[in-house]
Structure 1
Amino acid sequence: MVVLTTLIAIEPAFARSATDLFVETGGPLRYALVFLFAAIPWFEIFLVIPVGIGLGMNAVAVAALAFLGNALSVYAVLVFHDRTRSWLARRRRREATPGIRSRGRARDVWDRYGLAGLALSAPLITGVHLAALIALTAGSGKRAVGTWLTASIALWTVVLTAASYYGFGFLAGL
């Protein structure tokens, strides 16, 4: 929720237009948007799964497409890590003060729990894309990062799908 609130505060027009697009689209295109939005940092599975299920979409299809969109975008980060690392280095040289707060939280998780802890908490703390970059920068291998983040995305997909499906079902029964 903090991520959604931050996104809306930073880019309210973008957030509104993305939400409107998702709500106003129907049929197979709506499922394609689930895949696409799950691949976008800050939207990811924590927003896409509850919204999709809340709109009455098939829960299994939403879960599968959200998982694929989020996992494949993480693998893209892993594949293009070297280019991304060069880009971040250039960007840090231009910025006067880097984002210490989010990097500090992520580093605390890394120091305490390592790759497994970062991967399992990534959707809540940093998002899986940034977690992949943090893990790679900290020296973890691409295969280990991919394995742990895929497991984390799968776990969170199941938890969010079940919570959304049964939560909305409970609310509909009231």
Structure 2
Amino acid sequence: MAVLTTLLAVEPAAARSATDLFVESGGPLGYALVFLFAAIPWFEIFLVIPLGIGLGMNVVGVAVFAFLGNALSVYAVIAFHDRARAWWMRRRKTETEPRERARGRARAIWDRYGLAGLALSSPLVTGVHLAALIALATGSKKRAVGAWLTASIALWTVVLTAASYYGFGFVAGL
């Protein structure tokens, strides 16, 4: 709290909470925070959208910035996957061949659900960043991974935004 107080240059008794900071900065800073937190794995849209809407931020603004933050960070994972893999292989100085048993289980899951199943379930199950890495590791084309994950993020953004908006509206009406 002391760090926040120092950063905000206010008296300790009048220090604002993180919630107040979010709500009061409903302008560019608030939406920049939505964008940033949506780009962080495990925060992503499932936490950011309900939080932003619950704090009274503009519903459309939260949805757009959460979508952009989540999607652009996934594109970064896809874009830098080859470089990271090459770095890892140089560091290990060996071929990274997965164990046969693990490969069999992963292949069975992949064969059953495929890229579409992984992408559509990823916000709930693995997070979209890990899903991108899994899809790329199984040999999927970057363009297909990007397209499916973008569609999944868009779908889940709409669902979460609607559920949060109407959910908070229902609770407020009680």
Pairwise CA distance, 1:75? 0.4
Deviations 1:120-164 (A, max 9, x none): 000111100010010001000000000000000000000000000
Q: Distance in 1 between matches of 2:49 and 2:105?
A: 25
% identity of equivalent residues: 79
Call closer, same or farther: CA 1:22–1:44 in 2, change over 3 Å. Answer: farther
Q: Which runs of 5+ in 2 are unaligned?
A: 1-16, 94-102
Report the TM-score, using the length of structure 2 for normalisation: 0.76
Residues in 2 aligned to 1:52 and 1:159: alpha-carbon distance in whole angstroms: 15
- 5 Å matches for 1:38-117? 38-86=38-86, 109-117=109-117
Partner residue of 1:146?
146
Superposed counterparts of 1:114-133, under 5 Å: 114-133=114-133
- Give the superposed CA RMSD: 2.6
For residues 168 and 58 of structure 1, what CA distance do their matches in structure 2 show?
13
Please give the alpha-carbon distance, in whole angstroms, between the structure 2 residues aligned to 1:142 and 1:172. Answer: 44
- Structure 1 residue aligned with 2:32: 32
Letter of the structure 2 residue corresponding to residue 44 of structure 1:
E
Query: Which residue identity does 2:52 align to in structure 1?
Result: G
Give the partner amino acid of 1:146.
G
CA distance change for structure 1 residues 118 and 106 in 2, over 3 Å: closer, same or farther?
Answer: farther
Q: Structure 1 residues 107 and 88, CA, compared in 2 at 3 Å: closer, same or farther?
A: farther
Gaps of 5+ in 1: 1-19, 94-102
Moved more, 64-73 or 81-90: 81-90
Give me the whole-angstrom Cα distance separating, in 2, the residues matched to 1:42 and 1:104: 27
